Amino acid sequence: MERFVQLHLLTAYPPANLNRDDLGRPKTALVGGAERLRISSQSLKRAWRNSDLFQESLAGHLGTRTKRMGEEVFNRLVTSGVPKQKAHEWARKIAGVFGKLNSPSKEEQKKSDYDPYDPKWTHIGQLAHFSPEELAAIDALVQKLIETKQGPSGEDLNLLRERHSAADIALFGRMLADVPSFNTEAACQVAHAITVHKVAVEDDFYTAVDDLNKGEEDVGAGHMGETEFGAGLFYLYLCLDRELLLKNLGGDAQLAERTVEALVASTATVAPTGKQNSFASRARASYVLCEKGDAQPRSLAVAFLKPVEAGREGLLANAIKALEDERERLDRAYGDGDPNAVAMNTLTGRGSLADILAYAKGGLADG
């Protein structure tokens, strides 16, 4: 299996302010001596992993959210012949690992119909998330309790598994300062997106009329303001370490394939949410190039060190040409390129997102 998948995308955003600095201006960066618009990698990742598309393509693998895990455990123990009192105690121990349990108040305990073994006292106060692996671990533990007729030990309760199958964390990593053993190294590297051309951030001076002001005393605007924005064709680059992804997912190749699909589809179709209500600047990638291989991954940002000009062909056509030419030159100079790379080009109508998805996940199942 080829270790790295590299994605190069060109996405044109209309006037927008997708990612702002502390003054509310669109973020920028200097590249090749010219100012460019920039969208930070952090902003992109947040939009992708929080998108409906990402959630939907992974539904079923993102686990279960419930307050009632304790009740499930309690019921199973009772139906398997564990005395109610013990079943209740053990269910509380297991559910307690995942959140603070509901406890009866003093007033509640004085009520005539108070039942200390009511399953509701095994519920967690808030919804807790159970990953597929955690569900399997709980299942195994309950089975063990039924067989041994012994309560869970501290070790048994260590259900917060180090290796979890949540695709989100496998791709983008997790750092818990308190519990370093739960840390996961992100399998996906995302660069800041940068426009391929020089831009000037522009000001939109706007006024708002006070509808109830009849203009008898004061004919001025009710509000004046300024919004800064920019438009441009962005180059996005990301690199996915597929071996690390597979490792983070506990070797589950099927899940890894779905994760790759979710990632690729969201990078090509999901825009950051910043100021979308003001600008409606949603956009999809016009061009996607996907490379696979074991050679040292490199972005193709050098193709745009010289700012692309619109010229007669237009910005997109010139940017695609610059990207493809640079890739060819780099591969010729350094070798080690991917001769089978797949592209989707909306300008020529060649290739599709489905081609990119197929190529990006191809070979994953071979391990």
Chain residues binding another protein by CB under 8 A are 3-4, 20-22, 27, 29-33, 40-42, 46, 49-50, 54-55, 62-63, 65, 96-100, 124, 126, 128-129, 131, 160, 164, 166, 168-169, 172, 180, 185-186, 189-192, 194, 237, 239, 241, 244, 294-302, 305-306, 326, 330, 334, 336
Distance in Å, CB of 157 to another protein, minimum: 12
Residue 117 or residue 172: which is nearer to another protein going by CB? 172
Question: What is residue 34's three-state secondary structure?
Answer: strand
DSSP code string of 218-274: --S-SEEEEEEEEEEEEEEEEEEEHHHHHHHTTT-HHHHHHHHHHHHHHHHH----T
Residue 100 or residue 149: which is nearer to another protein going by CB? 100
| DSSP count for the chain of H helices, then E strands | 12, 11
Distance in Å, CB of 146 to another protein, minimum: 26
Calculate the CA 144 to chain-centre distance: 36
Burial class (CB in 10 A: 0-12, 13-18, 19+), 6: buried
Residue 63 or residue 232: which is nearer to another protein going by CB? 63
Distance in Å, CB of 48 to another protein, minimum: 10
End-to-end CA distance of the chain: 6
Residue 160 or residue 231: which is nearer to another protein going by CB? 160
161, two tokens: 């598994």
Residue 32 or residue 220: which is nearer to another protein going by CB? 32
Distance in Å, CB of 246 to another protein, minimum: 13
Distance in Å, CB of 55 to another protein, minimum: 6
User: Whole-angstrom Cα distance, residue 266 to residue 262?
Assistant: 6
User: Whole-angstrom Cα distance, residue 47 to residue 274?
Assistant: 9
